[in-house]
Amino acid sequence: MAYIIGPDCEKCGSCEPECENQAISEGEETYIIDPEKCTECLGNYETPRCFEVCPVGAPGPDKMRKESREQLLAKWRKLHPGKEPKLFEKKA
Amino acid sequence: MNYDLIVVGGGPGGLMAARTAAADGLKVLLVERKKNVAEIARACLQIFYINKITPNPETGRGEPNMDGYIDPVSAEILPEKCRFHFPVPGFSLDFGGSVRAYYNWIQTSPKGYQIHRYIPNEKVWGFYYQKEAFVAELLASAQKAGAEVMPETAALSAANTGDGVEVKVRRGQTEETLKGRNAIAADGLNSRIVQSLGLNENRHAGAPRHIVAYVVEDVVAPYHDTSFYSWTIPSISGGGNVWMGLLAGGRHLLGVGSGADLPPTTILDNFLKLPAFHDWFKNARVVDKMVTAVTPRASLKEPVTGNVVIVGDAGASAESWVQGAVASGYQAVKAIEKERSGHTGYRDYINWWQKAFAFNYSAYQKLLARVYPLNRVCSDDDIDYLFQLFQDEIGIPALLVTANLDRVKKGRPELYEKIKATLKG
């Protein structure tokens, strides 16, 4: 689905270096996730890292962009040519 | 275009490095990801500690201000400015912005029992300094000395290339490679430069701590103009303490750090409702908010790799403090110059770094392990009991308690057992 940073963002920038897809940059009112680069951390972490780091929980799933696991994985491969994604078992 | 030095990060450490190098005649480029270099975007207490920090693990007394820079520093108040002295690296720094003196650190229990960290109203242990003005002054002096400063430029990675360094940066949508003889990584706690150089592989990282702080006007508390406050209230803040420091213009910064389980805003909002301190905040207004996240890591023991020198928070366990950032920015430049002229600059820097910060000492790590578990095993009632028991002592409560457990055993044997269990292992 790609994640999006909501209005609670205070622009501390703590998320920016955490994104392994380098999808995050400073915008006017908030930091911004480039949806072309966000795989919801699929391929990198067990859960979305920007959300985990954010002190106010500003990032969340972008409900306007529905993407399947396969689509996210394909996106990851394009962003990291020649590498293998880190995948985690979904917890019950 | 080839630079003598590329500095990554426009905080106090990076700007001090850029200014020092430019003043020494080096061709310097500083890159900073933010649009406004001097803007303080991350929550910060903005305290310049001035006492030599020597933890005494046996008695819990002294000035064990935890993890930062422990070389001596002092502050001289002059008519229009404050002069900070750094005798070990051997420089002084003038500052024309706001400063406010801290005489007290009042550690408070849920019902309001107090243990003073320092003898009340005796001497200054630190200054609130206005960080935005501090950074703005460093920026101006770096540019005046001839450093080129490039904002809105996010550094992505660095690579050593034999006799130089390549730093990959992003400006808007474009990526660019900058070339220089040396680079300084001053891009803070989650340094991309440190990560890209493979230096995080053996650095254990803890869970991120979420910090939220409210800028508050019209707080009225005992000694509110000269004191730092901290509250140990497990029922609302779990393992962290709520704290309150000074800001410019009579304002205060009220904040807390917590783990993922408990949002800091919830803790602060619950704190402001507590009857014990309600009077202090009854006319207060929250006028702004500062936030940040801190991912603690083992510190870098060797903050030099190839032609890249790491300074400040980028190599720290959690915080190097502003004086640590500034001192290491200066020292890093001197190290590079020394190394380039055929002397052991890098080795000298590493030796200095390992001694200058409490987080590099194993004794400090052991001390830290004794401080926070108290919050996690004690109830509000336990904390009230302990603070009342030790209210005439001076020092850090957890250290006073764990160094004098026999006193707890007499009155509260079950509490004694609970605390003793946290000291095992």
Q: What is the pLDDT of residues B14-24, one digit of tens each?
A: 999 999 999 99
Torsional sign, CA A30, A35, A37, A38: positive
Give the DSSP H/E element, type plus range, for residue B376. Answer: helix B373-377
**A90 found inside a domain:** no
Please state, in angstroms and rounded to a whole number, the distance separating the CA atoms of residues B210 and A15: 12
Helix and strand tally (H, E) in chain A? 2, 4
**A60 found inside a domain:** yes
Q: Which two tokens stand for residue B424?
A: 């095992």
Q: Which two tokens stand for residue B282?
A: 């009854």
Distances (CA, A) of B2 to B56, B187, B315: 49, 21, 26
SS3 B170: strand
Please state, in angstroms and rounded to a whole number, the distance separating the CA atoms of residues A81 and B146: 41
**Does any CB of chain B come closer than 8 Å to the CB of residue A85?**
no
What number is the average pLDDT over the span B273-285?
A: 95
Please state, in angstroms and rounded to a whole number, the distance separating the CA atoms of residues A80 and A76: 6
In chain A, % helix, strand, coil (3-state, to 5) comes to: 20, 15, 65
Please state, in angstroms and rounded to a whole number, the distance separating the CA atoms of residues B363 and A26: 40
CA angle B377, B378, B382 (to 5 degrees): 160
Q: Which two tokens stand for residue A92?
A: 């019950």
**Does any CB of chain A come closer than 8 Å to the CB of residue B287?**
no
Which candidate from A11, A22, A57 shows the least CB-CB separation from B156? Answer: A22
Q: How far is CA B407 from the centre of its chain?
A: 34
**Does any CB of chain B come closer than 8 Å to the CB of residue A16?**
yes
The tens digit of pLDDT for each residue in B75-134 reads 999 999 999 999 999 999 999 999 999 999 999 999 999 999 989 999 898 999 999 999
Which candidate from B195, B292, B295 shows the least CB-CB separation from A12? Answer: B292
**A87 found inside a domain:** no
**A7 found inside a domain:** yes
**Does any CB of chain A come closer than 8 Å to the CB of residue B168?**
no
**A89 found inside a domain:** no
Please state, in angstroms and rounded to a whole number, the distance separating the CA atoms of residues B369 and B362: 11
What is the identity of the amino acid at B353?
W
Domain count, chain A: 1
Average pLDDT, chain B: 92
Which candidate from B41, B211, B289 shows the least CB-CB separation from A13? Answer: B41
What number is the average pLDDT over the span B205-233?
A: 96
Q: Which two tokens stand for residue B325?
A: 């950032």
- Judge if pTM exceeds 0.90: yes
Which candidate from B42, B187, B260 shows the least CB-CB separation from A12? Answer: B42
Shortest alpha-carbon distance between residue B267 and chain A (Å)? 12
**Which chain A residue has its CA at the smallest distance from B193's CA?**
A17
**A54 found inside a domain:** yes
Torsional sign, CA A71, A72, A73, A78: positive
The tens digit of pLDDT for each residue in B309-365 reads 999 999 999 899 999 999 999 999 999 999 999 999 999 999 999 999 988 888 777
User: Containing domain of residue A56, as a range?
Assistant: 3-79
Instruction: Count other Cβ atoms within 10 Å, centred on residue B186.
Output: 33
For residue B139, give the nearest of B39, B274, B269, B221 by alpha carbon.
B39
The tens digit of pLDDT for each residue in A46-66 reads 999 999 999 999 999 999 998
**A84 found inside a domain:** no
For residue B46, give the nearest of B321, B264, B251, B265 by alpha carbon.
B321
**A86 found inside a domain:** no
Shortest alpha-carbon distance between residue B211 and chain A (Å)? 6
Q: How far is CA B80 from the centre of its chain?
A: 26
- ipTM of model: 0.93
Give me the half-sphere count of Cα atoms (radius 13 Å) on the Cβ side of residue A10: 22
Q: What is the CATH number of the domain that holds A37?
A: 3.30.70.20
